[in-house]
Amino acid sequence: MKFCRSIGLFALAALSTAVVTPRAATADDTVTLSLTLKDHKFDPAELHAPAGKPIDIRVKNLGDIVFEFESSALHFEKIVPPGSEAVVHVRPQQPGRYNFFDDFHHETQGFLVVP
């Protein structure tokens, strides 16, 4: 019983340490990219960002219908009502081509390219 309890405490302690550990990169490193959504199309449909730097993607919904900005690869999902703007934070990426989409209309696709 005691053993179980101490395992639980250890896990909690490990977690809380992990939570407060800051990322090595500073905020100045962050690359901000902007895009808009209108008529179920992202503009630009392809974004570019350098490898190894945190990325903020700023998306503005210029259409008249809500959309859900989502990406499994980049780990975000956010509802963006018409006329509003949202920012998602993306951790530093390895080179690659990452897909994002509107979860309400899967034909609406875009990519983040990291060379």
Positions that interact with another protein (CB under 8 A): 1, 4-5, 7-8, 11, 15, 18-19, 21-23, 64-66, 68, 72-73, 75-82, 84, 86-89, 91, 101, 103-106
User: Which one, of 83, 84, 88, lies nearest residue 101 by Cα?
Assistant: 88
- Cβ-contact 73, 82 below 8 angstroms: no
Q: How far is CA 41 from CA 4, 50, 92, in A?
A: 53, 24, 25
Nearer to another protein, 10 or 113 (CB): 10
Identify which of residues 31 and 79 has a Cβ nearer to another protein in the complex: 79
Nearer to another protein, 50 or 52 (CB): 52
